[in-house]
Structure 1
Amino acid sequence: MLDVLGIMERIPHRYPFLLVDRIIEISKENQSIKGKKNVTINEEFFNGHFPGHPIMPGVLIVEGMAQCLGVYVLEGVEGKVPYFVGIDEAKFKLPVKPGDTVIYDVKVDKIKRNFVKASGKAYVDDKVVAEASFTFCITDK
């Protein structure tokens, strides 16, 4: 539904910290969003994260889920940015390696004023590689 240029119009993240390549589904009815990240050996984090045995850092997988949620929540909103205020129940189940495609599946649990609580799972080949619940606030730039 959105390519990387459309994503960059909605959230402030840029390379090397833009961790979503494409939004593949948005459901206002289910308050959910799905995004995709193609992981390549050229990713900046592989230079220092386990050289010789490259795996994507789990915190960046959680960040990718949060960026998808930022796209969802900031749709049609100008002059605001999302900031993490909490990450809970994070679990990293399988390594994500160069050549993998990560699918982020994120659902809004609650929106209260400028705070958003959500939960997400990340998949590679239909297997859960990570999951977490997180909270962030939407604030002025």
Structure 2
Amino acid sequence: MTYEEFRERGSFSLEDLLAFAYGNLVENRPEGFDARLPAPPFLMMDRILTITHDGRQGRIVAEQDIRLDAWYFQCHFSGDPIQPGCLCVDAVWQLLGFYCVWRGALGAGRALGCQNVSFNGQIRPYNRCVRYEVDIRRFSQLKDSGSSVVIGDAKVFVDNELITEINKAQSGVFSGIVYPDYPKHSRNSTGGIIRS
């Protein structure tokens, strides 16, 4: 699809998300379009049902199908398989970063934090579907650096039961931070404070 079509889409299939993760979704990527979603098995959604914006606010609803043989059930924990709660938080960060790029941010995405997380349930191997509902509180593009930051509140449901709430989750998209020549030692091969 073209960059213009990407920016106008209101939903994305698993095929679309995989293509985005591997850098093949957008044919005419503008310079600096470096963002990716994590590839499987760390991609934490199977589809984005809706993605909308209204000024600086918006909404994303996405789903993840639960698989009996998911990698995390094999190791977390032996004899007591459960999806780690931190993966729900990471899914929200992934969705927020995708939202930034969908809104026109150029660069690569990074999780920036969240204020509160509360867990009231769990995801087990025989659950069927996790739904992420993310309300965008504020999306900002920083003119000087070209960076973007988004803040959202999320609710996570498993088989329609609310199990997690995440307040003021934040992700950003920053230019000049990708490390495409891994494992070579190069300019971005070490971490630290992001200066963008």
TM value normalised by structure 2 = 0.66
* 1:28 counterpart SS class: strand
Equivalent-residue separation in structure 1 for 2:97 and 2:15 (angstroms): 15
The answer as to 2:60 corresponding to 1:54 is no
- The answer as to whether partners of 2:96 and 2:150 remain within 8 angstroms in 1 is no
The Cα of 1:12 is off from its aligned counterpart by 3.0
Answering whether residue 101 of structure 2 is matched by residue 45 of structure 1, we say no
Say if 2:106 and 2:173, in contact at 8 Å, map to a contact too: no
Gaps of 5+ in 2: 1-10, 22-35, 143-147, 179-196
1:53: how far off?
Answer: 1.7
Q: 2:17 aligns with which of 7, 30, 38?
A: 7
Residue equivalent to 1:135: 170
SS in 2 for 1:31: strand
The 1-side partners of 2:72 and 2:111 are apart by: 20
Q: In structure 2, how many angstroms separate the alpha carbons of the residues matched to 1:76 and 1:91?
A: 28
- How many angstroms apart in 1 are the aligned matches of 2:108 and 2:136? 17
Instruction: Considering fraction of residues, name the structure with more strand.
Output: 1
**Residue type at the aligned position of 1:35:** A
Give yes or no for the alignment of 1:116 onto 2:144.
no
Structure 1 unaligned blocks of 5 or more: none
1:120: how far off?
0.5
CA distance in 1, matches of 2:138, 2:105: 21
Number of the residue aligned with 1:105: 133
Q: Secondary structure at the match of 2:122?
A: coil
What is the identity percentage for the equivalent residue pairs of Structure 1 and Structure 2? Answer: 23
Aligned equivalents of 1:49, 1:98: Cα separation in 2: 11
Amino acid at match of 2:48: I
Paired residue for 1:20?
45
User: Which sits farther off after the overlay, 27-36 or 88-97?
Assistant: 27-36
CA distance, structure 1, for counterparts of residue 105 and residue 95 of structure 2? 17
What TM-score does the superposition give when structure 1 sets the normalisation length? 0.89
Q: RMSD over aligned Cα, in angstroms?
A: 1.9
Higher RCO (C-alpha under 8 Å, 6+ residues apart): 1
